Structure 1
Amino acid sequence: MADKKEKEKKGYKPVWIIVAFLVLVIINFLPAPEALGVIGLRALSVLAFAVIMWVTEAVKYPVSAVMIVGLLIILLGLSPVPANDIGAALDVPDGTEQFGTRNALSLAFSGFSSSALALVAAALFLASAMQITNLHKRLALYVLRIVGNKTNAIVLGTILVSILLAFFVPSATARAGAIIPILIGMVAAFGMSKDSKLATLLIVTAVQAVSIWNVGIKTAAAQNLVAVGFINEAMGEDVSWIDWFIYAAPFSIIMSILLYFVMTRFFKAETDEISGGRELIDKELAELGPIKPIEWRLIIIATLLLIFWATEGILHPFDSSSVTLIALALMLSPKVGVFTWKEVEGTINWGTIIVFAIGISLGTVLLRTGAAQWLSDVTFGAMGLDAFPLVAVIALVSVFNIIIHLGFASATSLASALIPVFIALTTTLNMGDASLGFVLVQQFVICFGFLLPVSAPQNMLAYGTGTFTVNDLLKSGIFLTVGGYLLIILLSATYWQWIGLL
């Protein structure tokens, strides 16, 4: 027992590490299919290793990311270069027989040169700025103060706060971290415990709303940026902030209405009104004091950033990544900025940046070695999807996507594993102009983190407060997952076709 606790404390699961390496070795000793080749087979072996490590959380995500890099360098570096189009796609000189560790190293670190990584890194700084200045908390308090003391109104206010913060705080965990303590404080002010029905109602509403708006806004979640990075790399397409919003916001708006209905109908609180709620909010606002100059500067920078995101490609030539990096430079500048490097460096989760970059690298490897195309042909080609209409394909693949998500604690890792396969599937099925739309719709489904605490980091953050059980989240999550799935099909058959996405 003591050894088990010690291993848990160290953050690794030796059995699953061994299983992952065994699967890796077994796949490498299998004969390589002619359509795949040795280098493609080895890429798939690393993918299998990565999936096992990610699903079981055998080690911390940054640790598994470094292990993946090492494996890519060794296995790809010692692989023969195929004498076909795949070999040409790997960008090695003619006559090269072995891929080489230098080329493998370059490919393994390709994610670090992605513009999507720059956007994620800058977004983490923006989220830290919100936390350092407490501006996100102030925004949440103002909204909750406006909606009043009625329980249903506070549910609505919780959803509205999640929507508002999604525009300005590009981190689902940070958004949940802003609103959950306030809601718990309101419950405590009424003299109720953290395991009360009221606490369950409010906290579950908060985390589900955060997940819903991960879909609606491009910059709301890192997994969206993973998808955009692959779309840019493999399809030569770019999805602007406003285009994403036009495509996805209707989904999130309708889902927010469904969330309000589900929570107010099926999660009844002990009271219809929190009589001490407004006083608590006034007290917390008083403790924050008047808006400070540093907050005003952040408000101006964040508002300008949102305007530049929304007008990308319309009023100016700057893409989202460039604009966000310029905003970061302003936030770090003396006098006009909001924090110093010393203040912010301890608040950034640098492991997230590493995991994100390596996830992009792994996806790039799958695309360039032909492994993603082969996996798509084998997995989906055998299903005879080419005989189905597009909406039916979306319906079937979305079910697969939702089921796979049950095993992943990180939507970013899920996007890294699946988006390259979905991109390859568009080639397999000759989707043509609908290719971009198909991949985006599947990315929206990847954002479904409604069912289990392990389905999303914000769920785990909320679950740690002890305010709800797994069954509570599952109860609301089933409604939202089924509703979201049916809405995906409906929008695929109507709105997304009307606007030319599909």
Structure 2
Amino acid sequence: MGLPQQKPHVEEQKKPDGFFKKYKRFIYLAICFLIGAAIWFYPAPAGFSEDAWHLFAIFFATVVGFILQPIPTGAVTFIAIVISVITGILNIGQAISGFAASVIWLIVAAFIFSAGLLKTGLGERIAYLLMGRFGKTSLSLGYSLSLGDLVLSLFIPSNTARSGGIMYPIVRSISEVSGSTPDHKPRKIGAYLIQTVVQTENITSGLTLTGMAGNLMIIAFISQIANIEMTWIGWLAAAIVPCVICLVMIPWLVYKLYPPEMKETPQAKIIADEALAKLGPMKREEKVLGIILLLTIIGWATTTITGIDATTVGLTAVCAMLITSVINWKDVTSQTSAWDTMIWMGGMYGIADNLARLEFFDAFAVTVSSTLDGISWIIGMIILFPLYAFSAYAFASGTTHILTMYPIFLGLAIGIGAPPYLAGLVFAFASAVNQTMTHYASGPAAVFFAGGYVEQRTWWKIGFQLLVFYIVVFGVVGSAWWKVIGLW
């Protein structure tokens, strides 16, 4: 018998891309420009200036660009900045004003601090210690990290500082030692831990009066507008029931909504012990960085006493790391995530800030107030609470959102008869729970998103789902608790 004849090898023809796939970038860019143009050429509603309306068109088109992502986020923001200048709405100084914002430089400092923890191995050592103690399951790790953030929130009145300078580097280290990086198996455990901690950050920011820097501004507004002096204990008493419920639920909810691939880790303690033994005693760089970290935490915890803001403390820590050779200048310049975040976050911050300067949000408040005439304060608060929370879509900073919208909504609520003490707290809690609904809504969101573990569409989806959960908890359970303690 002869050998069976082999079929001649035919190279598999690559199927040509369809029209949409081939031109997807240009189609998505066209959609962004068309939506922006539609708003631009629509007559500005009563109360809105033409410049404010046109800048809103650019802002909204930019948000659409963030969603569709025809080009990188930084490039979308860069184009928006240039258009706002070319069209004459802003001058170049106004357009790039966001890059001078304190919170933007705190984010950069946090990324550099993270690089130091990773380079020296201190972050890895902390990660293995946590992994050995709490690492039997991904869920237990999530709860332990949430507890850690809760404890830190009692001492550090800046959610960006504690998330970027402490929590993110630890989460990143735990993920990497578990074999989960942004480019390799992010869903193994890294993405779950990122979302768990950043969502916990929302609640710890609202639990106490010192949970985030924005709360101190809120206290001033409550005093000025409602003539009420809010105490630390009074705030905690109102927050504790809904916040504790959220803190208990978050790791489990994220586990269900966005489950990690790695569920059980029975060998975690053995692996951690072996890794710690391999690391050996702490190196000089680790000890030096440990001292810098401790002093930084003290600096962040005492900002209200010393008058030194969190950004200055963070940048001083970076200087100390450079002087002591914990990191070098190349380590600073190689932090591409930090500089990329600075571009898109700074750009969005500047546009949103200029929208406020052009009184866009004042006109928005007048429009809302006209629809609330003649309704009871309870119905009014049911409308205003979620409206205030979701208005964060239009802001690139939790602080800016509070500065712009909090006094407006507090005034609206008091105007329709809501108890001033209750109204002040309701919008305070809303200011915290909306901090991570988008990747640009706050400093913590920007830091954790830039790590690259969670894609943008997923981030927005989870942010929306959990914001709805927070609104239900605070709206239903919170309202009942506030009735019990006599706030209404």
Residues 263-306 of structure 1: CA deviation (Å, up to 9, x unaligned): 89999999997442222112322343322111111111111111
Cα distance, 1:482 vs structure 2: 5.5
The structure, 1 or 2, with the larger RCO (C-alpha pairs under 8 Å, 6+ apart) is 2
Which residue type is aligned with residue 95 of structure 2?
A
The answer to whether structure 1 residue 355 and structure 2 residue 341 are counterparts is no
User: Residues of 2 paired with 1:24 and 1:111: CA distance?
Assistant: 21
The answer to whether structure 1 residue 180 and structure 2 residue 175 are counterparts is yes
Which residue type is aligned with residue 174 of structure 2?
I
The answer to whether structure 1 residue 257 and structure 2 residue 248 are counterparts is yes
Aligned position for 1:88 = none
Name the count of aligned residue pairs.
Answer: 431
Aligned position for 2:283 = 292
Q: Retained in 1: the 8 A contact 2:172–2:190?
A: no
User: Residues of 1 paired with 2:223 and 2:190: CA distance?
Assistant: 41
Aligned position for 1:374 = 363
Aligned match for 1:36, one of 48, 51, 54: 48
Q: Say which is worse superposed, 278-287 or 301-310, in terms of deviation.
A: 278-287
Q: Retained in 1: the 8 A contact 2:146–2:200?
A: no
> TM-score, normalised on structure 1?
0.67
RMSD: 5.1
Cα distance, 1:110 vs structure 2: 1.7
Aligned match for 2:298, one of 290, 307, 316: 307
Aligned position for 2:311 = 321
Q: How does 1:243-282 map to 2 (within 5 A)?
A: 254-259=245-250, 274-282=265-273
User: Residues of 1 paired with 2:311 and 2:483: CA distance?
Assistant: 26
Q: How does 1:21-420 map to 2 (within 5 A)?
A: 21-77=33-89, 104-147=91-134, 149=136, 153=140, 156-157=143-144, 159-160=146-147, 168-170=162-164, 174-183=169-178, 206-216=193-203, 254-259=245-250, 274-314=265-305, 316-333=306-323, 335=324, 337-349=325-337, 350-378=339-367, 380-381=368-369, 383-384=371-372, 387-389=375-377, 395-397=382-384, 399-400=386-387, 413=396
Cα distance, 1:371 vs structure 2: 1.4
Residues 302-354 of structure 1: CA deviation (Å, up to 9, x unaligned): 1111112112213x121212222222221221x3x420111231124211011
Residues 118-153 of structure 1: CA deviation (Å, up to 9, x unaligned): 222222221222222232232121022123647875
* Structure 1 pair 272–297 and aligned structure 2 pair: CA distance change class (3 A): closer
Which residue type is aligned with residue 355 of structure 1?
W
Which residue type is aligned with residue 340 of structure 2?
G
Which residue type is aligned with residue 288 of structure 1?
L
Structure 2 residues not aligned, in runs of 5+ = 1-15, 153-158, 225-231, 439-444
Q: Secondary structure at the match of 2:335?
A: coil
User: Residues of 2 paired with 1:24 and 1:388: CA distance?
Assistant: 37
Which residue type is aligned with residue 486 of structure 1?
V
Aligned position for 1:488 = 474
User: Residues of 2 paired with 1:59 and 1:231: CA distance?
Assistant: 37
User: Residues of 1 paired with 2:454 and 2:344: CA distance?
Assistant: 23
Which residue type is aligned with residue 361 of structure 1?
G
| Identity rate, percent | 18
* Structure 1 pair 271–227 and aligned structure 2 pair: CA distance change class (3 A): closer
User: Residues of 2 paired with 1:321 and 1:460: CA distance?
Assistant: 20
Structure 1 residues not aligned, in runs of 5+ = 78-100, 186-193, 465-469
> TM-score, normalised on structure 2?
0.69
Cα distance, 1:178 vs structure 2: 2.5
Cα distance, 1:365 vs structure 2: 1.1
Cα distance, 1:254 vs structure 2: 4.1
Which residue type is aligned with residue 347 of structure 1?
Q
Aligned position for 1:190 = none
